[in-house]
Chains A and B, each alone.
Chain A
Amino acid sequence: MKTTNILLVGVGGQGTILASKILSSGLLEFGYDVKMAEIHGMSQRGGSVSTQVRFGKKIHSPVLEEGKVDVIISFEKMETYRWIKFLKEDGIVVMNTYEIPSAPILSGNKKYPDGIIEELSKRLEKFVFYDALDEAVKLGNFKVLNTIMLGSLIKGMNLDGIDWDEIIKNNVKEKFIDINIKAFNRGFELYDNKLKGGK
């Protein structure tokens, strides 16, 4: 079987690493060889964060290559475009439209970039975007935006043969299990709803 590459990008503190952890442990349970790479360090202080998950029969490099990513799941709009050259031609993008301005934007020296949704809509066959923070707030906890987006990713990749409820149970604190499962299922729905509406 061929190797699948997933790139999760966002901003420090958004839960990218937890989402990657749930994803990778599910893939491991399913019997794939899995490797995951993350960048730590200063990213905790408002920097850009990325994790890379690769799975298949036998994985060598934990680091993936430009133009070879099957799915980009992006927790912040501008970060999507920063990483877009990694996407392969018929790749999927699932994007949170919520904007987190970076330091040069906050200080008024740069503008938050325009036209990202338009450009991606034009170019991509499979592009799903929604305000994941808003969806998470509706569910009652803004932090579960990462699980909502993970749900969309799993749906988009047809990985629903895995018992994700069980995996979530094993990876989040007990009092947050229910809301995370709800969030995961909401992500499933959103993928279908939004994909139909889009191109």
Chain B
Amino acid sequence: MKKLLTGNEAIARGAYEYGISYASAYPGTPSTEILENIANYSEDIIAEWAPNEKVALEAVIGASYAGARVIASMKHVGLNVAADPLMTFSFTGVNGGAVIISADEPGMHSSQNEQDNRYYAKFGKLPMLEPSDSAECKDMIGYALDISEEYDTPVMIRMTTRVCHSKSIVNFGERKSVKIKEYVKNERKNISIPSYARLMHVKVDNALKELEKISNDSSLNYCEYYNKKIGIISAGAAYEYAKEVFEENASYLKIGFTNPLPIEKIRKFADEVDQLYVIEELEPFMEEQIKADGIKCIGKEIVPRLGELSPTILRKVFFEKIDNSNTFNDIEIPMRPPTLCSGCPHRGFFYALKKRSDIMVTGDIGCYGLGAIAPLNAVDTILCMGASVSMGHGAQKVFTKFGISKRTVAVLGDSTFFHTGINSLIDVVYNKSKVVTCILDNRITGMTGHQENPGTGYTLDGSSTNIISIEDVCKAIGVKHIEVVNPLDLTATEEAVNRALDYNEAAVIITRWPCALKKYSTEDIKEFGLIKDSCQVDEEKCIGCRKCIGTGCPSLEFNSEIKKVKIDPNTCVGCEVCMQTCPVSAIRKVVK
């Protein structure tokens, strides 16, 4: 059977076919669907969401030591979180084969930075494979597991958004029956204290030399000879773009085994072509090593180093000719930026928070990042997962020490709190600063498309589990002032913020209302009920002051001609936030 699969779906299929038994991840674009699809094979594979990537990788390492074939998947910045166990996992090696997926995001469609995680493979002395399409994604899982077990090393697979999220044809096979390996206590292998680790380092270094031979012989690195005037070395999605643009007007060395590089094969290929180009996305990872070996090539001198490549970019770079003969008159098309959804509980919170102009708001990674853009503009900083609270702490310490009256308010979500926010809150309490930490609990991991987390009461396979109470965790950490509010109630939220800021120690506000797009669980229905109304503007009363427009709700439209606001009844979910902002009570509730 053949099917069209995304790269992420193909990785999941590979995990199934090649006998993986344990998988863990934290959701993050573009990697999220890998675990969601592995969860479809729950009879054969234990698949779990971990609170963060470090935890996911460590769980996977334990499962590998126990003898199973394992996989951990994460986005590029997620690997930063998991870098600590990663670097030592390469020293200890595996028992059952281990694969670590890094889904990088050139172009930053929904990420906070653009980093080339191929360097992690070199840094951590890990073999790395780089697929170009979905069929390769599936096959490389098998290849990676074989290498992993034979050379006693975890193997990294580096993907990019285009490989993760584009579909191509994959042939299906059966699941290989893989017996779990026996666990044998072995302190020289699994205990990384200095005296043992020094020996491990020697072993890793020797394995790397062996692996370079494997890379030179590997069928994942292959030449395609057409016109030999131009030779192109490429990998990943960039290889497909190069083939699209150069067709049979060039010869190719396609690299699928990118660390260690097959330098002998590259030297041989370089000898056979007149002009050698290296076409790779983001950093000159291959190019620098090729040049360091004394091989002449052209790469980042002409191929962009920043952002995602495309056939259009390559055509511009190499041929300076774009086949676009269609010329249309210029019509200005307004932007369509992402916004907080209609009825998003974060909107009410940010609207209320904005009343205080004497604060620094440290934000975090998640939907609430959209509270940073117009018209709310309610966030001062966004850095990485969990950083809101610890950054707020550092800033508050400095403000206090130098007698500056500014207060810091940290804003993060429920999933982010469990990810790394907890550690940061411990820092706040332990080191005694008066940060107001606002945990926007929308009962789900919203931004990545609704994954369960320790607060939701459900696991990845949909079975119910303990709900970790954020309130109780905060109490246990030692926060004394904790308030839970409904963020759709502007007055209550504003008052809670004021009370917390008046309190001279660490304070926590938990705003609690489900994501507007979320399918309510039975617990949600019990706690929140279902709103079945929508809001409507009485045009007679509307004075066109645009106060309600300031909430940034996409259901509200200001008509500049008649200077009145209209609410779209199809998208409005009746959250009443706009109603509370109207100074003349022109907005009322109607039954849908």
Q: Which of B297-313 contact A (CB under 8 A)?
A: 310-312
Q: B109 near A28 (CB under 8 angstroms)? A: no
Measured between beta carbons, the chain B residues less than 8 angstroms from A57 are none
A41 at the interface (CB under 8 A from B): yes
Closest to B332 in A: A113
Q: A62 near B168 (CB under 8 angstroms)? A: yes
Interface residue from B2, B3, B311, B338 paired with A45 (Cβ < 8 Å): B338
> In the complex, A88→B332 CA distance in Å?
21
Interface residue from A106, A108, A123 paired with B328 (Cβ < 8 Å): A123
A130 at the interface (CB under 8 A from B): no
> In the complex, A40→B29 CA distance in Å?
8
Measured between beta carbons, the chain A residues less than 8 angstroms from B552 are 103, 107
Q: A103 near B339 (CB under 8 angstroms)? A: yes
B336 at the interface (CB under 8 A from A): yes
Tally of contacts, chain A with chain B, CB under 8 A: 176
> Shortest beta-carbon distance, B370 to chain A, in Å?
7
Q: B312 near A65 (CB under 8 angstroms)? A: yes
Q: A101 near B328 (CB under 8 angstroms)? A: no
Could you say which of A79-87, A158-166, A176-184 contacts chain B? A79-87
Closest to A63 in B: B310
Task: Given the known inter-chain contacts A61-B311, A111-B560, A119-B331, please indicate yes or no for A40 contacting B109, CB distance below 8 A.
Answer: yes
Q: B326 near A46 (CB under 8 angstroms)? A: no
A25 at the interface (CB under 8 A from B): yes
Q: Which of B24-67 contact A (CB under 8 A)?
A: 29-30
> In the complex, A101→B165 CA distance in Å?
27
> In the complex, A81→B166 CA distance in Å?
24
Measured between beta carbons, the chain A residues less than 8 angstroms from B546 are 107-108
Q: A39 near B549 (CB under 8 angstroms)? A: no
Measured between beta carbons, the chain A residues less than 8 angstroms from B133 are 35, 62
> Shortest beta-carbon distance, B73 to chain A, in Å?
15
Task: Given the known inter-chain contacts A62-B162, A116-B331, please indicate yes or no for A123 contacting B240, CB distance below 8 A.
Answer: no
> In the complex, A49→B260 CA distance in Å?
38
Among the interface residues A28, A34, A103, A123, which one has the most CB atoms of the partner chain B within 10 A? A103
Q: Which of B93-115 contact A (CB under 8 A)?
A: 109-110
Residue interface bits A22-58, CB-to-B below 8 A is 1, else 0 = 0011001000011111111111111110000000000
Measured between beta carbons, the chain A residues less than 8 angstroms from B30 are 40-41
Measured between beta carbons, the chain A residues less than 8 angstroms from B560 are 108, 111
Q: A107 near B549 (CB under 8 angstroms)? A: yes
> Shortest beta-carbon distance, A107 to chain B, in Å?
5
Q: B311 near A65 (CB under 8 angstroms)? A: yes
Q: A67 near B167 (CB under 8 angstroms)? A: no
Q: Which of B318-333 contact A (CB under 8 A)?
A: 322-326, 328-329, 331-333
A104 at the interface (CB under 8 A from B): yes
Task: Given the known inter-chain contacts A39-B165, A63-B162, A115-B331, please indicate yes or no for A45 contacting B339, CB distance below 8 A.
Answer: yes
Closest to B334 in A: A110
Closest to A69 in B: B326
> Shortest beta-carbon distance, B447 to chain A, in Å?
8
Closest to B449 in A: A44
Interface residue from B2, B324, B557 paired with A85 (Cβ < 8 Å): B324
Measured between beta carbons, the chain B residues less than 8 angstroms from A35 are 133, 166-168
Q: B323 near A65 (CB under 8 angstroms)? A: yes
Q: B4 near A36 (CB under 8 angstroms)? A: yes
> In the complex, A61→B162 CA distance in Å?
10
Measured between beta carbons, the chain A residues less than 8 angstroms from B374 are 103, 107
Closest to A113 in B: B331
Measured between beta carbons, the chain B residues less than 8 angstroms from A111 are 560
Q: A38 near B326 (CB under 8 angstroms)? A: no
Q: B241 near A28 (CB under 8 angstroms)? A: no
11 residue pairs from A and B, CB less than 8 Å apart: A35-B133, A40-B30, A44-B338, A45-B339, A61-B237, A62-B162, A78-B333, A78-B336, A88-B323, A88-B326, A104-B334
Q: Which residues of B contact A (CB under 8 A)?
A: 2-4, 29-30, 109-110, 133, 162, 165-169, 237, 240-241, 243-244, 310-312, 315, 322-326, 328-329, 331-341, 367, 370, 374-375, 447, 449, 517, 546, 549, 552, 554, 556-560
Q: Which residues of A contact B (CB under 8 A)?
A: 11, 24-25, 28, 33-48, 59-68, 78-79, 81-82, 84-85, 87-89, 91, 101-108, 110-116, 119-120, 123
